[in-house]
Amino acid sequence: MKIFDILLAVLLFQAVPVLADWEVNPASFEFSATLTGVLIVDGTAVAGEDNLLGAFVGEECRGVATPIYALDSWVFFMTIYANVAGETVRFRAFVPGEGVVLEMDEEIAFQPNEVYGEPIFPFELHASPSEHTPPVMSAVSARSVDIPAGFLLQQGYPNPFNPSTLIGYALPVEGAVEMAVYDLLGKRVRTLVAGRRSAGHWHTIWDGRDSR
């Protein structure tokens, strides 16, 4: 089997309907952690790109994200922010199909640089439609969601892959993105991503094959 290096040159901006107080300024916080999660309502995974997940300490929003369809499910890739360790973080989800803000059952004790969940085994967030509050919509029609502080290329998961691997990357600004696979001789054997992306979190899947 060939050994490949993955090189990345990247970038993105994601806009969604906004809920009042569901905004976070990463520059206001010293630490961060990441969550890869899925929504489970009444025992069923919630599908759709319009859903919104928020992380809160009390009533202060510490993270917000919309889902990406990856590995046959709608997955949230969220950065959670804090200035101290140990804070209790709870989660809320706005599901347009339910027309409510759901209070999730799970909570975490924030730890800097912690990773909660992964693409293959995401962190499950559970709720019942009865556990809700009416949504309060902001007058603002769109906003950025979970814009990373810098560029990030994650290791493929699983590694070694079987039969494919999910590669995540994060972009702080919109721009041209190119992700390619090279062999040990420096020859490009596969282009995985080519085009413009908005700022945020992105993922692509490589099946291990080259272009030949």
Q: What is the pLDDT of residue 197?
A: 83
Among 33-42, 91-100, 130-139, 189-198, the minimum mean pLDDT is found in: 130-139
For residue 25 the two structure tokens come to 């300024």
Q: What does the pLDDT look like over 108-137, one tens digit per residue?
A: 999 999 999 988 889 999 987 655 554 443
Judged against a pLDDT cut of 90, whether residue 86 lies above it is answered with yes
pTM above 0.75, yes or no: no
How far apart are alpha carbons 175 and 202 in whole angstroms? 13
Which of the two residues, 176 and 208, has the higher pLDDT score?
176
Q: What does the pLDDT look like over 57-79, one tens digit per residue?
A: 999 999 998 888 887 889 998 88
DSSP code at position 130: T
State percent of the chain over pLDDT 90: 26
Alpha-carbon separation of residue 49 from 46, 75, 207 (angstroms)? 10, 9, 24
**Which DSSP string do the residues of 88-104 spell out, in sequence order?**
EEEEEEEETTTTEEEEE
Q: Which amino acid is at 13?
A: F
Which of the two residues, 199 and 7, has the higher pLDDT score?
199
For residue 160 the two structure tokens come to 């070694």
- Judge contact between 155 and 161, C-beta under 8 A: no
Which CATH architecture is the domain 18-139 placed in?
Answer: Sandwich (2.60)
Q: Where exactly are the structural domains of the chain?
A: 5-12+145-206, 18-139
Q: What is the pLDDT of residue 212?
A: 59
> What is the CB-side half-sphere exposure of residue 206 using CA atoms within 13 A?
26
- Judge contact between 125 and 67, C-beta under 8 A: no
The helices-and-strands tally (H runs, E runs) of the chain is 0, 19
Q: What does the pLDDT look like over 23-47, one tens digit per residue?
A: 888 889 999 998 999 999 888 888 8
Three-class DSSP category at 47: coil
For residue 153 the two structure tokens come to 């290329």
How far apart are alpha carbons 38 and 74 in whole angstroms? 7
How far apart are alpha carbons 103 and 188 in whole angstroms? 47
Q: What is the pLDDT of residue 159?
A: 60
Mean pLDDT score, 182-206: 82
Mean pLDDT score, 165-193: 83
Mean pLDDT score, 16-24: 65
Mean pLDDT score, 173-182: 86
